[in-house]
Every structure is written in C-alpha cells, then in structure tokens.
Amino acid sequence: MAIDGKDRDVLRDLAKRVAEIAALPVQAERREMWKRHNALERVRPMVLIFPEGSWRELLPQSTLLCEDERARQMEVALRRRLYYHDHLPDDTVIEDEWVVRKAVSHTGWGLEPRFIESSAEHGAWAFDPVILEPADLEKLKRPHVIHDEAVTERNLAEAQDLFGDILDVKLRGITHVSFHLMNFYCKLRGLCQVMMDMIENPSMLHEAMTILTEGHAGLVRQWDEMNLLDLNNDGTYHSSGGNGYTDELPPADFDPAHVHPRDMWASAESQELAQVSPEMHKAFALDYEARLLAPFGLTGYGCCEDLALKLDDVMDVPNMRRISISPFADVEQCAEKLGADYIFSWKPKPQHLVGVFDEEHIREYILEALDATRGCVIEMVLKDTHTCEHHPERFTRWTEIVRELAEAM
C-alpha cells in the first residue's frame, strides 16, 4: 500500500529539511576532505560517529510520528541524518539523496545458523552448532543470486513519488562489499570448536574456508555478470567504519554501463581470530580473504580484532588502503608500522560513554593517540556504542572534544 496521509506529510517535511542541510557549503567541504584523506593525504584527523545500538536511546520509538511500519523505518533514516546535523558535529556528509536498493538476495548456503537465545533483553546468545563432523560440510551449497526486478521497480516508483521532487532518488545495486568468512563459519560450527579444529582437525577447517571462499567468489561473479554492482566511491560505508569518497575509483577505463569489482572498494575481517597467532590468522583466514579482495580496486581490513602483530600480513593484501586499529591495539606500535602508507582507522574505546563521563580523561586518551599518530593518515571512528545510559548529550560532548583536538593538530 502507498504511504499517504499524515505519514506522507511527515516524511516529505523531514526530506525537505535534509535537502536544506545537504545544500550547506560544509557538506562539499567535508566531501573534498574525505577524498584527500582517502587518497592518503593528511588533511587533519577525521572524525566519524556511529551510535549503532544507542540509536534507540537517541531516537526512541516513542518520538516517531508515522504510523505505518514502512513509513516509520523511512522516518528513522531521515531523522538520523537530521540528528547528525543537530547534535553530532563530526565529519559525516549529509547528502541530498534517497537510495533505493535493488531487491537482490540469494538462495542461501544450504545450512542456517542456530542460536540459543538469551533470556535478557539485548543479551548475548550462545552457539548451537549445525556442523558437527566433516561430512556435514557436504551440506553446504553455493548460493545463487536472485534479483526480483518487479519489487525493485515498485520500490523505486514509490520513492520517486514520495521524494522525487525533494531528494535525488537513486537506484543502487550492491555497493557495500564486505567478507566475513570466519564469522559465518563460527555460527555454523561454534567458536570453541573452530579453535579446537585449528589444532585437531585443520584439514576440515581449510575445507570449510575453501567452500566459503568459492561461494563468495561465486556471488561476486554473479553480481558482476548480472550487472548488479554499483560504484561506492561516495559516502557508502566502508570496512568497519569509514566511507568511500575518492577520485581514484573508478579507473580511467571505466564503463559507466557496467560496474566491475575493479571499480569498487571492498573489505574483510576476522574478529573471531583476535586471540589467534599471526601464522594461524593468515593460514585460516587472511589467505582466503585476500583471494576475495584481489579483484577490487581498493580494500580495507579488520574490525575489533587487535591486528598489531598481524599488520605485515594485512599490508600484503592487494590494494590495501584502510586498516582498522581496534580499541585493544597498541596505537603507538601500529602507528610505527603503518606510517602514512595506509588509512589508520582507529576505533576509540566506546566505554567512555557509560559510567562516569570523564571529559578530562577522554581528552587525555584522545590526545595521547593523536600524538602517537602524527605521521599517520588517521580517522577516529566511534562505534560499538551499545548504550549511552540514556544520556544522548554524551555523544555530542564526546564529538565536540575530539573535533576540537583534531582541528588543533
């Protein structure tokens, strides 16, 4: 059913304000800064905020005005952009666009993860493995891509009718490409058992990684053949925090009618191997991930895993540009290794937003990292913020402190 009446009025009013904000000169300035930053020019330390789990405290459901569930989802998307402008003075670029995603899915892997749910709200689940022995790997199937063109056209027509005279309505296919092989396999096998397999049954783990690598390569190949890939040299989220603004992609021989992997950013991570040796991380994850990343124009790696002892291997991945430095990593050690040759995508500790909000401690913590990374192309990305204990103003103040320190560098 079409979105009309009060819901339509609410969404269009919000879209008009987004368009006004997107037209401010600061958006163009930030966009150009990101292009220089992503090209490894140190303009200044860049700052990005991703409230993630805390959005439910920053924008409670009770504050929404729309009634239809689809309209409420759109309302949230628009209000988040407005919230950045009003309360989060980071380097996020507000664009005057509304993106409609092509209805792309796939047939699945033949096995689905199972979990034991927590009895606590937002509590942690436990693994309930479905791969119990090597023979179970035969149940894994290579997924086949599906594009429901009728749904795509319907969604596009609805968006054009709703926002077409206010925002730039864009139809996009696959733009965020990120590989999470170990994450998916651990959900099928169980994290503890995967660790045991590294010692007791490495051939089984290698077989599993081979199957998943070939399956993901097949997905990329199908996206390419079906012309479902789209450029991500814009504000598209990249890796574990960052964006794709760049003039380096696509290359000079780009065919505007058909986007290929070489025209795009992609990334990978293996957080589950945080405590695994560099040798095992490379053998069981990075070697496979590197094969998947090789066809892409620019790549990124890592998330919350400490890569301090694994950076040499990560830097060998083809076209590596953005490397995640987790809250658990030794910033000084990583800075010495990366220098100005890669984007130093530092993730500050999100726990500073809970408990006692100590501004002086935050200032000292950030300043210590900035001093250690003076020779680096650094971005500070606050994420994994599951709660701010219902103190939204902490996000604002954290951002103001960090922005002040960044601009002084």
352-403, pLDDT tens digit by residue? 999 999 999 999 999 999 999 999 999 999 999 999 999 999 999 999 999 9
Domains of the chain (ranges, CATH numbers): 5-407 (3.20.20.210)
| DSSP character at residue 190 | -
Q: Which pLDDT belongs to residue 122?
A: 81
Q: What's the pLDDT band for 2 if we cut at 50, 70, 90?
A: confident
Q: What's the pLDDT band for 38 if we cut at 50, 70, 90?
A: very high
- List own/partner pairs for 311-318 with CB under 8 A and 24 or more apart: 311/337, 311/338, 312/278, 312/337, 313/278, 313/281, 313/282, 313/286, 314/286, 315/341, 315/342, 316/290, 317/286, 317/289, 317/290, 317/293, 318/290, 318/293, 318/294
Q: What's the pLDDT band for 189 if we cut at 50, 70, 90?
A: very high
Q: Which pLDDT belongs to residue 409?
A: 87
Average of pLDDT values for 319-339? 97
Which residues neighbour 48 within 8 Å (Cβ) at sequence distance 6 or greater? 90, 91, 92, 241, 242, 243, 379, 380, 381, 382
Average of pLDDT values for 53-57? 96
pLDDT digits (tens, 9 = 90+) for 206-231: 999 999 999 999 999 999 999 999 99
Share of the chain above pLDDT 70, in %: 100
Answer positive or negative: Cα dihedral of 385, 388, 390, 392: negative
Two tokens, residue 86: 């009003």
Q: What's the pLDDT band for 121 if we cut at 50, 70, 90?
A: confident
Two tokens, residue 73: 């989802």
322 forms bridges with which residues in the sheet?
Answer: 300, 343
Asked whether the predicted pLDDT for residue 202 surpasses 80, the reply is: yes
The structure tokens 């996009």 sit at 172
Average of pLDDT values for 64-75? 97
Asked whether the predicted pLDDT for residue 1 surpasses 80, the reply is: no
pLDDT digits (tens, 9 = 90+) for 270-302: 999 999 999 999 999 999 999 999 999 999 999
Q: Which pLDDT belongs to residue 94?
A: 98
